[in-house]
């Protein structure tokens, strides 16, 4: 019985997937500071181009605001970076990879301009 269990464990170990060469990364930088009062900073970077940084500060109104960024290399080889602010207004990212809304069509822009012109003349809409 012990031999069967040992054989099964050995077979499972031999069948376990191994990472492909070049897919593992090593840490090049790892910094962490926490003052315990809401002030903190961390940063790490891997040799594959992945990096994360964040700085946290307590807010007078309570809570913490965090400013940070993360970067990685997209499978197509392009370096992608996103910066963000997280505070009472939520998570606010910015970066070229993030989707953006479609531009307004010309007729919608004209309607907005006309409505602003009417409001400036004192016209109210009910």
pTM: 0.60
- Over residues 6-23, the mean pLDDT reads 53
- Over residues 26-42, the mean pLDDT reads 92
Q: At 73, list the tokens.
A: 């290399």
14: confidence class by pLDDT, cuts 50, 70, 90: low
Cα gap 100→106, rounded to integer Å: 18
The whole-number pLDDT of residue 1 equals 46
Whether 10 shows a pLDDT value over 60: the answer reads: no
Close Cβ partners of 56 (under 8 Å, ≥ 6 residues apart): 38, 39, 40, 41, 64, 65, 66
Whether 76 shows a pLDDT value over 60: the answer reads: yes
Domain ranges of the chain: 23-118
Whether 100 shows a pLDDT value over 90: the answer reads: no
């Amino acid at each position: 019985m012990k031999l069967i269990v040992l054989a099964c464990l050995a077979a499972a170990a031999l069948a376990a997937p191994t990472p492909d060469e070049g897919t593992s990364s090593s840490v090049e930088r790892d910094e962490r500071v926490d003052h315990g009062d809401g002030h903190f900073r961390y940063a790490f970077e891997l040799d594959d181009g992945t990096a994360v940084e964040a700085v946290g500060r307590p807010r007078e109104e309570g809570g913490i605001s965090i400013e940070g960024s993360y970067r990685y290399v997209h499978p197509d080889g392009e370096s992608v970076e996103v910066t963000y602010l997280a505070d009472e207004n939520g998570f606010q990212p910015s970066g070229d990879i993030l989707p953006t809304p479609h531009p307004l069509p010309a007729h919608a822009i004209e309607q907005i301009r006309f409505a602003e012109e009417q409001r400036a003349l004192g016209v109210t809409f009910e």
